[in-house]
Amino acid sequence: MEKFVIHGGNKLHGNINISGAKNAALPIIAASVFAGDVCRIENVPDISDVRMMIRILEFLGAEVAKPEPNVILVDVKNVTPVTIPDKMTSKLRASYYLLGALLSNFGKACVALPGGCYFGVRPIDQHIKAFEALGATVDVENAIVDVKADELYGSSIYLDVVSVGATINAMLAAVKAKGLTVIENAAREPHIVDLANFLNSMGADVRGAGTEVIKIRGVEEMHGCTYSIIPDQIEAGTYMVAAAAVGGDVTIDNVIPKHLESITNKIEDCGVTVIEYDESVRIISEGGKMKACRVKTSPHPGFPTDMQPQFAAMLCLCNGTSTVVEDVWDNRFKYIDQLRRMGANIIVNGDTALITGVDKLRAAPVEADDLRAGAAMVIAGLMADGETTVGNIKLIDRGYENLVEKLIGVGAEIARVNFEEE
Ligand code: UD1
């Protein structure tokens, strides 16, 4: 079993290059089924969730080539909407994007319920509501979602909650529906804009992505394109927080600073210097004793829930008591027990964690409870003196390309060790 072994305490100096965004790459790869021929997709992160999405597409009949690192050529000429089994969908949440994409392109899709990180109940009622609004019938039996329509018709879809996944599935289902679809109360994350740009590059007519109202006029035909995925907001944020927490001077390259504003603001609230350039951000931090702060997660442009665990790890050494409110998921504090093993002083009450800064974190064996919780453990390990091991790192590999190499590049001591071989 592989683990990360971290010797904490080193300050970080240098540059980290950010990969393509996981949460943009996954729907974009699913959406390539619309092309009818070949799409060249660039800046694709080499992470296990993306590899799984490619396997699902190949299972449907696509041919996927990798002519150079982080570039894929997806040929979807032979794709058919066969049932996607649980053993594939249980690995990642984004497998449900094939529901919207296959439904719109072939009039039917049969996809086992998705897996992904557990943050409490993860319903798909808003996805189903969107499909039904467009005229599809949806049956869920034996944990398989079966959705079909003779014809899809544009419609008005009001999402009762701001959902990234439901917004994306509604967009995918609508691109070939007859007439105009209006999605209201849409999520506004950068990856939604990226998906819209990709769909438009293939000939779709999607407007308003990045606002609360997305309008889609259905088209009959779409075509292949060349497209480059945006940088990963959460990967960038993770390294920004790592640099702030541990201390040093780190420049995070290949980012869109605008996408990072909510994270930048909160890091600055803690007394850390953040300098924005056109395509990079620089973090200059003493590390350790920064100011406590209050952070509440919310949909974009608010503070991302996917940065909550990493930020909480940083707050463990800040002066005073910080407040972290989780307002998106109902069960996203499980990892806090792991931080407590390292000496953190945290009280959780419902959706709120009160983190009182301690002098030091103690190195300890800890586990990644999920993808971002795992990233938080890596940050805590970098903050602690001594040797921390982080187990269950396959969850971290789902979303961070070359994490070990990137951290070593800025002076961290971290290694991937196979404990079975020892
Ligand atoms: C995506 C991200 C995930 C991130 C989340 C919020 C991917 C692959 N995953 O997940 O990392 O934490 O956005 O930024 O992109 N909800 C409903 N009904 C639905 C759908 C959602 O009630 O049909 C609720 C959820 O329970 C949650 C909230 O809406 O409380 C937000 O969920 P959503 O934005 O859909 O998250 P995901 O798209 O699953």
- What's residue 103's pLDDT? 98
Burial class, 407, CB count within 10 angstroms (exposed 0-12 / middle 13-18 / buried 19+): buried
Task: Compute the mean pLDDT over every residue in the chain, rounded to the nearest whole number.
Answer: 96
Q: Are residues 190 and 264 in the same domain?
A: no
**Distance of alpha carbon 104 from alpha carbon 136, whole angstroms:** 10
Which is nearest to 111 in space by CA: 170, 156, 60? Answer: 60
Among candidate residues 117, 270, 316, 318, the one labeled active-site is 117
Tell me the mean pLDDT in the region 66-85.
96
**pLDDT at 205 (0 to 100):** 98
Position 16 scores a pLDDT of 98
Q: Find the domain containing 270 and state its range.
A: 2-18+231-418
Measured in Å, residue 164 CA sits from the centre of ligand 1 at 6
Q: Kindly state whether residues 169 and 46 are assigned to the same domain.
A: yes
Of 187, 202, 228, the position where a domain reaches its end is: 228
Q: Record the pTM.
A: 0.97
Same domain, 326 and 235: yes
Residues 88, 161: one domain? yes
Label residue 421 by pLDDT band (50, 70, 90): low
Please give the single-letter amino acid code of residue 380.
A
Ligand 1 within 6 A of CB of 145:
no
Q: Please tell me whether residues 193 and 74 are part of one structural domain.
A: yes
Residues 293-304 have a mean pLDDT of 97
Do 368 and 240 share a structural domain?
yes
262 with 335, same domain: the answer is yes
State which of 212, 228, 244 marks the end of a domain: 228
For 247-259, write each residue's pLDDT tens digit: 999 999 999 999 9
Q: Is there a single domain that holds both residue 262 and residue 223?
A: no
189 and 249 in a single domain? The answer is: no
Q: Is residue 147 predicted with pLDDT exceeding 80?
A: yes
**Domain closes at, from 228, 250, 279:** 228
User: Which ligand 1 atom lies nearest to the CA of residue 92?
Assistant: 8
- Torsion sign, CA atoms 42, 70, 242, 251: negative
Distance 303 CA to ligand 1 centre (A): 14
Residue 76 has pLDDT above 60, yes or no: yes
Q: Is the pLDDT of residue 90 over 90?
A: no
Question: From the centroid of its chain, how far is CA 416?
Answer: 22
Note whether 29 and 153 are same-domain residues.
yes
Other residues' Cβ atoms within 10 Å of the Cβ of residue 258: 11
Tell whether ligand 1 has an atom less than 6 A from the beta carbon of residue 125.
Answer: yes
CA neighbor of 18 nearest in space, from 392, 279, 378, 376: 279
CA–CA separation, 140 vs 125, rounded Å? 11
Same-domain status, 10 and 124? no
Whole-angstrom Cα distance, residue 261 to residue 377? 24
Sign of CA dihedral 307, 263, 52, 166: positive
Is the model's pLDDT at 288 over the cut of 80? no
CATH number at residue 320: 3.65.10.10
113 shares a domain with 69: yes
Distance 328 CA to ligand 1 centre (A): 8
Q: What percent of the chain has pLDDT over 90?
A: 92
Asked if 163 and 144 touch (Cβ cutoff 8 Å), the reply is no
DSSP class of residue 224 equals -
Peptide bond into 301 cis (omega under 30): yes
> Which of the four pLDDT bands, split at 50, 70 and 90, describes residue 274?
very high
Tell me if residue 122 falls in helix, strand or coil.
coil
What mean pLDDT comes out for the span 176-196? 98
Nearest to 99 by CA among 169, 29, 167, 198: 169
Mutate to test the pocket of ligand 1, among 23, 163, 193 (most ligand atoms within 8 A of CB): 163
Is the pLDDT assigned to residue 117 strictly greater than 80?
no
Check pLDDT > 60 for residue 183.
Answer: yes
Q: Which atom of ligand 1 is nearest to the CA of 304?
A: 14
**Can 117 be counted among the known catalytic residues?**
yes
Angle between helices 125-133 and 164-174 (to 10 degrees): 20
Total number of domains in the chain: 2
Going by alpha carbons, the residue nearest to atom 37 of ligand 1 is 165
Question: Does the beta carbon of 164 sit less than 6 angstroms from any atom of ligand 1?
Answer: yes
C-alpha dihedral sign at 29, 32, 38, 43: negative
